[in-house]
């Protein structure tokens, strides 16, 4: 059985303590960061060791959106930010839908070649220009364009045998605050959100997306709980009204935006009670132990079914074979032709979100 915690570790190799922790029944997955990466050969060996620890195997995830948020760089294709696809869409809609599929193809095949199950992608937030932390991570300001590009992207992930995770439900793009450092507050009402930010999430639920990540954002005119702790947003809206049946991930519970619940035990309990299936706790090993000691060691049957759908599916080429393929060369050439000058990475490359 896989538990509801997704955790991290330091370094490019597992320690004996890491292995012991990853075998805990309440742990279900691992998120990798830049600090865990040297090159494709090293990370492939690391993923193989993680997958061999348990059966069913632990899920392995990473933030590999492209642009500022790409944890594996040396040896991997430098993926353009999603906003570059939105800009291209304004000039050539049909061609850019194909380019979005190319972006997803490269990301999925390169990650699968080293043993990663999925990336926390795509971003479904709107690129309103208000949020610096979202910025060029968003496809576009128009919800219909975000939905079209994201559906093309997710369809290719599925074709490549990779699940997708849309983020950050119900929308992080309309606030200035960065939830890594503060609690952002969005004062819009439900109708405003329904007509804009919720549209891409609704479209991707209809398109069969497997995962959704909640936002550490408060929408006080709709509900008095942060979205990630809100039964209204997760159970009533996402599951009830939108009909989502996949895995709900919390954003990192160590982020400042999650700090309205003072202890990590309270954060975990509130997120689970609200309807989250998987809780991310990053860069806080003491918090992981606090939650493991507090939560009952019991099976989560619905979570088990949902988590099984997050595993990569089908055969994956090894990294050298992928690099040698004509499809990889052609697809990366198309992406590189439209890739703008790289921006600085988003804050700490070991921060999730």
Tokens of 128: 């309103």
- The set of residues, in sequence order, having a beta carbon less than 8 Å from that of 251 and lying 6+ positions away, is 167, 168, 179, 213, 214, 215, 216, 228, 257, 258, 280, 352, 353
What span, in angstroms and rounded, lies between the C-alpha atoms of 72 and 77?
A: 9
Catalytic pick among 180, 216, 311, 352: 180
CA distances in angstroms from 5 to 2, 56, 65, 92, 117, listed in the order given: 9, 15, 22, 42, 16
Peptide bond into 122 cis (omega under 30): yes
Catalytic choice (8, 63, 251, 252): 251
Contact 233, 171 (CB under 8 A): no
251 is catalytic: yes
The torsion region of residue 55 among left (phi > 0), alpha (psi -120 to 50) and beta comes to: beta
Closest CA to 173 of 141, 208, 205: 141
187 noted as active-site residue: no
Residues taking part in catalysis: 180, 251
């Amino acid at each position: 059985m896989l538990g509801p915690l997704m955790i991290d570790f330091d370094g490019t190799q597992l320690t004996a303590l890491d292995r012991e922790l990853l075998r805990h029944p309440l742990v279900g997955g691992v998120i990798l960061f830049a600090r865990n990466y040297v090159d494709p050969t090293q990370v492939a060996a690391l993923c193989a060791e993680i997958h061999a620890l348990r059966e069913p195997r632990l899920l392995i995830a990473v933030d590999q959106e492209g642009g500022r948020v790409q944890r594996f760089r040396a040896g991997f294709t430098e993926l353009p930010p999603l906003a570059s696809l939105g800009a291209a869409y304004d000039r050539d809609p049909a061609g850019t839908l194909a380019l979005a599929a190319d972006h997803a193809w490269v990301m999925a095949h390169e990650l699968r070649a080293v043993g990663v199950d999925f990336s926390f992608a795509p971003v479904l937030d709107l690129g309103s220009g208000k949020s610096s932390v979202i910025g060029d991570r968003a496809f576009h300001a128009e919800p219909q364009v975000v939905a079209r590009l994201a559906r093309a992207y997710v369809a290719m992930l599925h074709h490549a045998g990779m699940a997708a995770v849309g983020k950050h439900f119900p929308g992080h793009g309309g606030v200035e605050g960065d939830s890594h450092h503060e609690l952002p507050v969005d004062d819009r009402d439900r109708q405003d959100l329904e007509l804009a930010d919720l549209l891409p999430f609704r479209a991707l639920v209809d398109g069969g997306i497997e995962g959704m990540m909640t936002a550490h954002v408060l929408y006080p005119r709709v509900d008095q709980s942060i979205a990630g702790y809100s039964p209204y947003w997760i159970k009533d809206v996402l599951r009830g009204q939108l009909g989502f049946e996949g895995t709900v991930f919390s954003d990192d519970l160590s982020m400042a935006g999650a700090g309205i619940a003072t202890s990590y035990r309270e954060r975990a309990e509130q997120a689970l009670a609200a309807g989250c299936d998987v809780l991310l706790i990053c860069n806080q090993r003491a918090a992981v132990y606090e939650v493991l000691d507090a939560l009952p060691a019991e099976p989560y049957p619905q979570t088990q079914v949902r988590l099984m759908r997050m595993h990569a599916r089908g055969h994956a080429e090894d990294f050298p074979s992928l690099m040698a393929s004509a499809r990889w060369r052609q697809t990366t050439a198309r992406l590189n032709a439209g890739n703008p000058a790289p921006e600085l990475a988003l804050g700490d490359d070991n921060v999730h979100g």
